[in-house]
Structure 1
């Protein structure tokens, strides 16, 4: 891998340490999210953070997954998140009480799905034909990571401001 990336072994080791750190961070975020879901809470901010943490890993370290297991993982992740995206899109039309939260989820998923598709194409986990067959239409995000993080945290701060008033 060091030869194909044209980096030294020490640089490769550093990249692997960075990847491990980011995977640990993602794991902690996912554990926190799972705990909130078990408690019946809608954890929008944690979901957005998880989506962008995974996106960052996929964008920066996709080349570590150029093996049989990595290809399988990328294909499953991509198809899994596409299914979540579709479910949320259909729910967005029916649930007006959580419309803002669902919008934030959907927009952060668009960022994540685009990264997963790009990486899946790079490592041949999916072909162009398979991506086209997903029929996602336009999944260009309308909001940036910063805006989505703000929108996800806004509800929390609204509660704080109401209590202060």
Structure 2
């Protein structure tokens, strides 16, 4: 039997790190708490907050009432049965100025965090104007700070 090359590990002050371990996610996420307006399939607008943001999507947190409004009939989410939404949010481009972003998304997963808190994984499917560029710039700046 052949052997597999394991990533090199080092120990620093008793903490083991995996030096060669690849990032398994395609897009890195940054922690956020941005107010986002979600437009459900019926056209109703609901205000939620983001938990994280990446170039490919966002994780939105909301309560059970919002989930019922967003997912009429508690539709199950599956890879071939996503729910399309529109979102509006703002990200800062400089410390005193923000830009508004409008995007189309699909809900790709729903996770119950507690009795009345849910997380919705949203994947971007399109942007109005330069929205993707603004998200890309914002995420890049946040990653440089960490």
Q: Give TM-score, length-normalised by structure 2.
A: 0.24
The structure showing larger relative contact order (alpha-carbon pairs under 8 Å, at least 6 residues apart) is 1
Between Structure 1 and Structure 2, which shows a larger proportion of helix residues? 1
Which structure is higher in strand share? 2
The TM-score, its normalising length taken from structure 1, stands at: 0.23
